[in-house]
Amino acid sequence: MHGTRLANKMILEADVLVAVGTRFQDRSTGTLDDFCPDAKIIQIDIDAAEIGKNVGVEVPIVADAKPTLRLIRQQLVHRIKKKENNLWINRIKEVKEKFLSEMDLGKGDLTAPKLLKELRKLLPENAIIATEVGQNQMWAALHFQTIKPRTFISSGGLGTMGFGFPAAIGAKVACPSCPVVDIAGDGSFRMTEQELGTSVTEDIPVIVIVLNNSMLGMVAQWQRLFYKGRYAAVKLGSVPDFAKLAQAYGAEGIRIGSLNEFADAVKKALKTEVTTVIDVPISPEDDVFPMVPPGKGLKDSCWGC
């Protein structure tokens, strides 16, 4: 639903799709009638019940993904043409460059895409990112470039609000030498903000960046786009003051007002030996794009519906 324009377009042009450990639910396929109409599908899953459950497949493989992919690679590596002469790779580059040139990062200093791209510049490659659930999660997936494996932790499937902060604490326990950052929305952070007590008491310093639009942002986006802006139960107001809340727990709390202040706050947080909450006010009207509207196919993915 919020996949990149590049992925949504190229999957429709592919003639073979290899699906590894995916259940083909509607959030990733859109309407099934329009999903990969010309592609043969190879589905790899350790659970036989998932094979062909939602989408018909030509090649079902019930197996552990890791050794299976190694065997497939061994069979393919000598058949693939040199990268610079590969028509498919060149096509992907062409579309990617076109879409990047058209990308809109929003107006003003403090937009989620700009903040996340700035954050990537400030963090080392081995920094671990956890996310909450909602707009913050989708923005992070779209605009924060993950460089190292196992450094992006997010709640898929059931989409559990409040997941990110405890996940960040757990990641910091597992990897104490790595910076760990929770990308949060104000709605999700309210769910488990009390774990500030755990992080301070147990000396587990992480960074929480609250993209604060004073709304349950994803629900508000749907109400704005599909229900003519008739908001119900999504406006959270300006309470609590997240910076003061953090300080009350003995953590650091910073509220920023510009991209430069954001950069300074992150740099300070990386050197601080206690959890830091950075409260970043963003517009409640900002939406996550691209988006495939409900009931539509991947071909209807739009940048600003």
Name the amino acid, one letter, at 41.
I
Task: Work out the burial of residue 106: count CB atoms within 10 Å of its CB; fewer than 13 is exposed, 13-18 middle, 19 or more buried.
Answer: middle
Mean pLDDT for the chain overall: 93
pLDDT number for residue 213: 98
What domains sit in the chain, N to C, each tagged with a CATH number?
A: 5-102 (3.40.50.1220), 112-281 (3.40.50.970)
Say how far apart CA 219 and CA 227 lie, in whole Å: 11
Say how far apart CA 202 and CA 80 lie, in whole Å: 52
Nearest to 276 by CA among 256, 247, 300: 247
> Which tokens sit at 302?
């739009």
- Per-residue pLDDT of 34-63, as tens digits, reads 898 889 999 999 999 999 999 999 999 999
Nearest to 216 by CA among 263, 260, 258, 162: 162
pLDDT number for residue 89: 87
Do 218 and 135 form a contact (C-beta atoms < 8 A)? yes
pLDDT number for residue 103: 82
Residue written as tokens 């030509």?
A: 58
Question: Computed over its alpha carbons, how large is the radius of gyration of the chain?
Answer: 21
pTM for this entry: 0.91
Handedness of CA 14, 19, 25, 27 (dihedral sign): negative
Name the band, by pLDDT with cuts 50, 70 and 90, for residue 87.
Answer: confident
Q: With pLDDT > 90 as the criterion, what percentage of the chain qualifies?
A: 74
> Which tokens sit at 174?
């597992």
3-state secondary structure (DSSP) of residue 17 = strand
- As beta bridge partners, residue 252 has 276
pLDDT number for residue 38: 87
> Which tokens sit at 4?
């990149």
Averaged pLDDT for residues 112-133: 98
Say how far apart CA 299 and CA 13 lie, in whole Å: 10
Say how far apart CA 163 and CA 144 lie, in whole Å: 18
Nearest to 175 by CA among 129, 128, 135: 128
